[in-house]
Structure 1
Amino acid sequence: MKSGRTYTQRARAESAEATRRRILLAAVGLLRARLRTDIRLADVAAEAKVSVQTVLRAFGSRDELLEVALTELLAEFGHALDQAEPGDVDGSVTAWFDHYEQVGEIVTRNLADESAPAVARIAAIGRERHRARVLRQLAPQLREVPPSRRARVEDALVCACDVYTWKLLRRDMGRPRPEAEATMALMITGIVEAT
């Protein structure tokens, strides 16, 4: 009889973990498409095809669920953005555009909603990671920059590669993606060559 009980407990644990994963994936999907402040537990539950009570049982609260979902989403973004080798300007620009084409709209909407503390924290994380990624990807180009100009050049490159630059080129000016990517690459090259 003991082996039957063990099997049942294992099956329940596996089922609970599958449900938890489904809930998490639903929350991650919603974070990609909506402002954090616009995500309700009922929305997550509906996406995951479970009850709100099941969501709460699995994660404890809406805030805890969204924190775990944000961590998962940031890891996913990081992996995608790290595909280009450091020093590969065109590859880096393509990776940024892939990212911005996927989530640029929601990122710019979140940045406009920074007065909400939870959104402000996400925006701060995004800025920190963006700067670190730009400096990582363009490290070979930055090696030749004199120390007296380094901070200014880094700031210029962070701005050139920003989501707002993508928005200006793609949404506001309506440039086709290849042209917009070439413009961002030109900005990067121009900044580095001007040092």
Structure 2
Amino acid sequence: MTTRAVAAGRTRERILRAAAERFAGAHYDDVTLAGVADAAGVTVQTVFNHFGSKEGLLTASIAHFAGEVADLRGEVDPGDVDGAVEALIRHYEALGDANWRAVADADRQPALRPLLDGARSEHRAWLESVFGPLLPGADTPRSEAIDALYAATDVGTWKLLRRDLGRSEGETTAVLRRLVAAVLEGSTP
């Protein structure tokens, strides 16, 4: 029984890796269970047996690899603006295009909405943690400052700078630093 459980775990891991690569590299509608199964070296029925549906596979692959975002961002000391911007750039350079595709697909794919809502909550909590010591203490000004920081550090801002305006990674880093600094200067505690 142990050998069977180990083999099933390895199969599940191969499927999740194949799914994560497919979902990261293409729009949701362009990812097929047949393509994931082929890449994982299993049948479509095996994918169904493990995850039940394409939505189930998406949810499981995102949950399985959620730690990668934390690893990419690493530890940032509260109040370390440069460290925070560098962490975001590492994250977005690795996963920004996939994140943006998920945002673009969410209007057509309801399964993505709760995942994005969770990611937004996590990003907001990260902003509060990293920039908290530099923010005003009163609820309304603090909340407004976090909203402004969110806009400055959102994946959409990175996408605009890197993909739409063609800025380099270094130029994008510099602009994000300026945006964050401007928000923080305008909301000094």
For residues 31-90 of structure 1, the C-alpha deviation after alignment (integer angstroms, 9 at most, x for no partner) is 222233332211111111111122222333333222211111323213322432222111
| Secondary structure of 2:106 counterpart | coil
Contact 1:28–1:72, Cα closer than 8 Å, also in 2? no
Distance 1:54 1:150, change over 3 A: same
Normalising by structure 2, report the TM-score: 0.87
Contact 1:31–1:70, Cα closer than 8 Å, also in 2? no
| Secondary structure of 1:138 counterpart | helix
For residues 118-151 of structure 1, the C-alpha deviation after alignment (integer angstroms, 9 at most, x for no partner) is 1222322222222121122211211x45545222
Contact 2:96–2:155, Cα closer than 8 Å, also in 1? yes
Unaligned runs of 5+ in 1: 1-8
CA distance in 1, matches of 2:67, 2:130: 17
2:124 is matched with: 131
| Secondary structure of 2:60 counterpart | helix
**Structure with the greater relative contact order (CA < 8 A, sep ≥ 6): 1 or 2?**
2
Paired residues, number: 186
| Secondary structure of 2:79 counterpart | coil
Kindly report structure 1 stretches of 4+ aligned residues shifted beyond 4 Å.
Answer: 144-148
2:30 is matched with: 38
Contact 2:89–2:173, Cα closer than 8 Å, also in 1? yes
Which of 89, 110, 115 is 2:81 aligned to? Answer: 89
CA distance in 1, matches of 2:5, 2:139: 56
CA distance in 2, matches of 1:33, 1:25: 12
RMSD: 1.9
1:176 is matched with: 168
For residues 9-42 of structure 1, the C-alpha deviation after alignment (integer angstroms, 9 at most, x for no partner) is 3323322221121112211222222233332211
2:149 is matched with: 157
| Secondary structure of 2:15 counterpart | helix
Normalising by structure 1, report the TM-score: 0.85
CA distance in 1, matches of 2:142, 2:5: 53
Query: Which is higher, the Rg of structure 1 or of structure 2?
Result: 1
Contact 1:36–1:119, Cα closer than 8 Å, also in 2? no
1:140 is matched with: 133
Q: Among all aligned residue pairs of Structure 1 and Structure 2, give the percentage whose two residues are the same amino acid.
A: 38
Unaligned runs of 5+ in 2: none
How many angstroms does 1:184 deviate by? 0.7
CA distance in 1, matches of 2:26, 2:162: 20
1:5 is matched with: none
User: Which amino acid is the alignment partner of residue 81 of structure 1?
Assistant: R
